[in-house]
A and B are shown apart, each in its own frame.
Chain A
């Protein structure tokens, strides 16, 4: 079944938020698809990078229900080729920020066993706690 979506005026708040966080003029994307064609990780993505841009344009928050923004490795292939000069990786980063700030799977440092804490990569810990601070 084809998804039915209602576009409400409030959707622009989400667009505005992503634009503020990413610093990109997302509305100028005309979805030529060069980002998707260039992306080395689309094989792992549920929706394409250009699809992310279009969904954000319409303020569709369900863009964050797909795994694509987590798959993006910020390799910047898309940025190097975007004919409208957009940085798509900044947009995926903004989406990750928004999702993280929702803190839906909050980590309690006290509950992590000490042995495990020693083993965990530092960057993973920093990533996990960043969502609590921003």
Chain B
């Protein structure tokens, strides 16, 4: 065997902390290693070419790249070795950046020692790698777009125009989303309805797009190329094909309600058109408020109550007996564009929203401006208006650390619109914007800000402390420090407008649950990589666009939506998708046909044939749960074989010094390993006793392996997996918990601290918790003496007795 080892400097990211030359020298001493080189940027074209040339020149048959996370550049190096004619599964990566240099930056010696060890672990893993073939399955050209806001519309149109079959599902009666509720849009001041209306109208005209409005996603099962979707269309009680949108039904309706599309600044009836430019442009009845439907729901029978709209409708379109309908269909990829909700301003009671009548939120002002522009003013904004910025953004008191990115610009826009309308009418308006930092970063935004300043809108730097209402005049007093003037302002205003921030929508939360999508620390949906895969999710074939991914403005949402369309097309256009050969396999010679593994497999991929078990690779998901059930070591998992896992553990522990402690962390790639990478990226330091080993699922880590690790000198083991609700593998975490309990019991029996082994379920946002747990495990390891040689011997001898003879 001829192994080539490469240690990457990562342009200083690694080499500033780790002595990469020493790591390479140490690696060169390992058996079968032909050479070990260090290089500034392994991922660069030159770096990759070096690997390709070396494979040919030195006849390498295995390659180890000691650099960044395999989740980051694993594919890069697989592609590189393929160019040199090597099987892609004969290259491995040791993560000495996220798991070493970036987290042990305060101690160069320790970081270097750990990097040497991590590289050795990698060498042992790759030594046991076998050539494997990727699995190919067909993929069609069907896409589900969830959410019909501007992002969903853009994605649907791009895909529809390109000839893909799009199913656009919108929860509300009309598409258009949040943008349809805006007055004008910055920085051009064009009317939102005008520029959005034509895009909305293009949806039903596109023959490749099927629109399901007023519909909710009930269930999505399956994976890329075969997502089985169930949607539920809520009853509108008006037959869309019969309704001609004449509006004659509205006047007789006796029910008057706040219009939520208008943020409550106007009223609507129980039968209504959501907005003037609604698509589809059809009336509907509010099933929760209509007198007839309410009576019907109470008695369970058709009711005679009211029915005034029915009498008014010349088309006979109204049908009080309409029921919800379910529809099932299959798609190949999914685009999630579920958008945002605005921050609930009543959570900042010091600003008095909901308590003082003259305190408004900015979305309400958008509608006030629309109506005023149309000549139907709803609310008089008064002469003195104050905007309070960062309500629900950049505020740890309410758990919102992030900037919502649009509030500076929309407050600037609203103040400009109010001011210019006043100027036209010859009115005086004093408008003040109280901000912490003005962030006008986009193209043309700074100019827009300056134009607003020129119009006489005053921008005052300071976050208002509180708003107090004069109980008689109902005017509002704001108390705020002008931090640039070193003065405290206490002034009276007619209206106070709260510039509320964004948060993931309720619907977005539901879809995240259904699709098991991870969220980032800010509560929005998490992209696969913040820079290079900004619209992919960690689930293959699922993409995110618009404000579901994080706060953003319209240009960014549209750009992102087009990006998702392109990314989805990239997958579907190939006609086939490749899957990693992460499958269980049987060593038929060793199998004695005991059948124990059959019951351990949730997808029922294992069956008996001629007295031996066989695995169906199409059904096998690759969780590795079957391995622990086999007492003959006959069943194993490709890419993470027993031999490989054991070799990694052995390499981690082989050179352990007497005063040293080693804690092994088996982290699943979907949550645990990704989280460990995020900890590295965030440069949060932790104990150098930690060795993180990637696994597909913690149920791959058998009790045998854990006990073997202890008998070889491990001081602690932490299994890091996803939360059960977001796990890819049914039952796997429950099984792993069971394994850990078994090992804990055995440790207790031999008088070792059972806290040495633990399992934890992580969401990918739990950075501090992960760091704390790693340090806790390390503390436990240092608090205890290493496991005694006697106990190591006992463990080693009794593994199969403990696990299989009961």
* B473-496 interface bits toward A, Cβ cutoff 8 Å, 1 = contact, 0 = none: 000000111110010100000000
Are B466 and A83 closer than 8 Å at their CB atoms? no
Are A30 and B488 closer than 8 Å at their CB atoms? no
Complex alpha-carbon distance, A48 and B436, angstroms: 16
B307 at the interface (CB under 8 A from A): no
Name which residue of chain A comes closest to B436, CB basis: A32
Shortest CB–CB separation between residue B595 and chain A, in angstroms? 58
B57 at the interface (CB under 8 A from A): no
Are A83 and B390 closer than 8 Å at their CB atoms? yes
Q: Which residues from 433 to 474 on chain B have a C-beta closer than 8 Å to any C-beta of chain A?
A: 436-437, 461-466
With A32-B462, A37-B465, A37-B466 known to touch, is A50 a contact of B397 (CB < 8 Å)? no
Complex alpha-carbon distance, A85 and B488, angstroms: 22
Are B483 and A50 closer than 8 Å at their CB atoms? yes
Shortest CB–CB separation between residue A52 and chain B, in angstroms? 12
Q: By the criterion of a CB under 8 Å from any partner CB, how many residues of chain A are at the interface?
A: 19
Q: Kindly list chain B residues whose C-beta atoms are within 8 Å of the C-beta of A34.
A: 462-465, 481
Complex alpha-carbon distance, A93 and B579, angstroms: 61
B221 at the interface (CB under 8 A from A): no
Complex alpha-carbon distance, A80 and B396, angstroms: 10
Are B481 and A30 closer than 8 Å at their CB atoms? no
* A46-83 interface bits toward B, Cβ cutoff 8 Å, 1 = contact, 0 = none: 01101100000000000000000000000000001111
Name which residue of chain B comes closest to A34, CB basis: B463
Are B465 and A81 closer than 8 Å at their CB atoms? yes
Name which residue of chain B comes closest to A47, CB basis: B486
Shortest CB–CB separation between residue B394 and chain A, in angstroms? 6
With A81-B350, A82-B397 known to touch, is A33 a contact of B390 (CB < 8 Å)? no
Are B397 and A33 closer than 8 Å at their CB atoms? no
Are A36 and B481 closer than 8 Å at their CB atoms? yes
Are A48 and B486 closer than 8 Å at their CB atoms? yes
Q: Kindly list chain A residues whose C-beta atoms are within 8 Å of the C-beta of B394.
A: 83
* B391-420 interface bits toward A, Cβ cutoff 8 Å, 1 = contact, 0 = none: 000111100000000000000000000000
Across the interface, A83 reaches (CB within 8 A) one of B396, B479, B480, B486, namely: B396
Complex alpha-carbon distance, A83 and B501, angstroms: 14
Complex alpha-carbon distance, A82 and B463, angstroms: 10
A38 at the interface (CB under 8 A from B): yes
Complex alpha-carbon distance, A83 and B464, angstroms: 12
Across the interface, B397 reaches (CB within 8 A) one of A37, A42, A51, A85, namely: A85
Q: Kindly list chain A residues whose C-beta atoms are within 8 Å of the C-beta of B483.
A: 31-33, 36, 50
Q: Which residues from 1 to 55 on chain A have a C-beta closer than 8 Å to any C-beta of chain B?
A: 30-34, 36-38, 42, 47-48, 50-51
With A37-B479, A37-B488, A81-B350 known to touch, is A30 a contact of B396 (CB < 8 Å)? no
Q: Kindly list chain A residues whose C-beta atoms are within 8 Å of the C-beta of B465.
A: 33-34, 36-38, 81
With A37-B466, A38-B465, A48-B488 known to touch, is A30 a contact of B397 (CB < 8 Å)? no
Across the interface, A33 reaches (CB within 8 A) one of B350, B395, B463, namely: B463
Q: Kindly list chain B residues whose C-beta atoms are within 8 Å of the C-beta of A48.
A: 481, 486, 488
Q: Kindly list chain A residues whose C-beta atoms are within 8 Å of the C-beta of B466.
A: 37-38
Are A33 and B437 closer than 8 Å at their CB atoms? no
Q: Kindly list chain A residues whose C-beta atoms are within 8 Å of the C-beta of B480.
A: 33, 37
Complex alpha-carbon distance, A27 and B396, angstroms: 16
Q: Which residues from 102 to 129 on chain A have a C-beta closer than 8 Å to any C-beta of chain B?
A: none
A96 at the interface (CB under 8 A from B): no
* B573-603 interface bits toward A, Cβ cutoff 8 Å, 1 = contact, 0 = none: 0000000000000000000000000000000
Complex alpha-carbon distance, A76 and B394, angstroms: 20
Query: Which of A37, A38, A50 lies at the interface centre, i.e. has the most chain B CB atoms within 10 A of its CB?
Result: A37
A84 at the interface (CB under 8 A from B): yes
With A82-B397, A83-B397 known to touch, is A30 a contact of B436 (CB < 8 Å)? yes
With A32-B483, A48-B481, A81-B350 known to touch, is A37 a contact of B462 (CB < 8 Å)? yes
Complex alpha-carbon distance, A38 and B465, angstroms: 5
Q: Kindly list chain A residues whose C-beta atoms are within 8 Å of the C-beta of B396.
A: 82-85
Shortest CB–CB separation between residue B37 and chain A, in angstroms? 41
Shortest CB–CB separation between residue A126 and chain B, in angstroms? 33
Are A37 and B486 closer than 8 Å at their CB atoms? no
Shortest CB–CB separation between residue A30 and chain B, in angstroms? 7
Are B463 and A32 closer than 8 Å at their CB atoms? yes
Are B397 and A81 closer than 8 Å at their CB atoms? yes
Complex alpha-carbon distance, A43 and B394, angstroms: 28
Q: Kindly list chain A residues whose C-beta atoms are within 8 Å of the C-beta of B437.
A: 30
Name which residue of chain B comes closest to A48, CB basis: B481
Q: Kindly list chain B residues whose C-beta atoms are within 8 Å of the C-beta of A31.
A: 483
Complex alpha-carbon distance, A10 and B486, angstroms: 27
Are A83 and B481 closer than 8 Å at their CB atoms? no
Across the interface, A37 reaches (CB within 8 A) one of B395, B461, B481, namely: B481
Q: Kindly list chain B residues whose C-beta atoms are within 8 Å of the C-beta of A36.
A: 462, 465, 481, 483, 488
Are B390 and A37 closer than 8 Å at their CB atoms? no
Complex alpha-carbon distance, A31 and B488, angstroms: 14
Query: Which of A32, A48, A82, A85 lies at the interface centre, i.e. has the most chain B CB atoms within 10 A of its CB?
Result: A32
Shortest CB–CB separation between residue A37 and chain B, in angstroms? 3
Q: Kindly list chain B residues whose C-beta atoms are within 8 Å of the C-beta of A81.
A: 350, 397, 465
Q: Kindly list chain A residues whose C-beta atoms are within 8 Å of the C-beta of B397.
A: 80-83, 85
Complex alpha-carbon distance, A83 and B348, angstroms: 12
Complex alpha-carbon distance, A121 and B707, angstroms: 66
Name which residue of chain A comes closest to B483, CB basis: A33
Q: Kindly list chain B residues whose C-beta atoms are within 8 Å of the C-beta of A85.
A: 396-397
Name which residue of chain B comes closest to A39, CB basis: B465
Q: Which residues from 33 to 50 on chain B have a C-beta closer than 8 Å to any C-beta of chain A?
A: none
Query: Which of B436, B464, B481, B486 lies at the interface centre, i.e. has the most chain A CB atoms within 10 A of its CB?
Result: B481
Q: Kindly list chain B residues whose C-beta atoms are within 8 Å of the C-beta of A80.
A: 397
Q: Kindly list chain A residues whose C-beta atoms are within 8 Å of the C-beta of B488.
A: 36-37, 42, 48
Complex alpha-carbon distance, A27 and B482, angstroms: 20
Name which residue of chain B comes closest to A80, CB basis: B397
Complex alpha-carbon distance, A50 and B397, angstroms: 17
Shortest CB–CB separation between residue B41 and chain A, in angstroms? 33
Name which residue of chain A comes closest to B482, CB basis: A33
Are A37 and B464 closer than 8 Å at their CB atoms? yes
Name which residue of chain B comes closest to A42, CB basis: B488
Q: Kindly list chain A residues whose C-beta atoms are within 8 Å of the C-beta of B463.
A: 32-34, 37, 83
Name which residue of chain B comes closest to A85, CB basis: B396
Name which residue of chain B comes closest to A36, CB basis: B481
Name which residue of chain B comes closest to A54, CB basis: B483
Shortest CB–CB separation between residue A50 and chain B, in angstroms? 6
Complex alpha-carbon distance, A31 and B437, angstroms: 10
Complex alpha-carbon distance, A51 and B484, angstroms: 10
A-B CB contact pairs (8 Å), 27 listed: A30-B437, A31-B483, A32-B390, A33-B462, A33-B480, A33-B481, A33-B482, A33-B483, A34-B465, A36-B465, A36-B483, A37-B462, A37-B464, A37-B479, A37-B480, A37-B481, A37-B488, A38-B465, A42-B488, A50-B483, A51-B486, A81-B350, A83-B390, A83-B463, A84-B396, A85-B396, A85-B397
Contacts A36-B488, A83-B394 known; list 13 others, CB within 8 Å: A31-B483, A33-B462, A33-B463, A33-B483, A36-B462, A37-B463, A37-B480, A38-B466, A47-B486, A80-B397, A81-B350, A81-B397, A85-B396
Q: Which residues of B contact A (CB under 8 A)?
A: 350, 390, 394-397, 436-437, 461-466, 479-483, 486, 488
The 9 A-B pairs of least Cβ separation, nearest first, read A37-B465, A33-B481, A36-B481, A32-B463, A33-B462, A38-B465, A85-B396, A83-B395, A32-B436
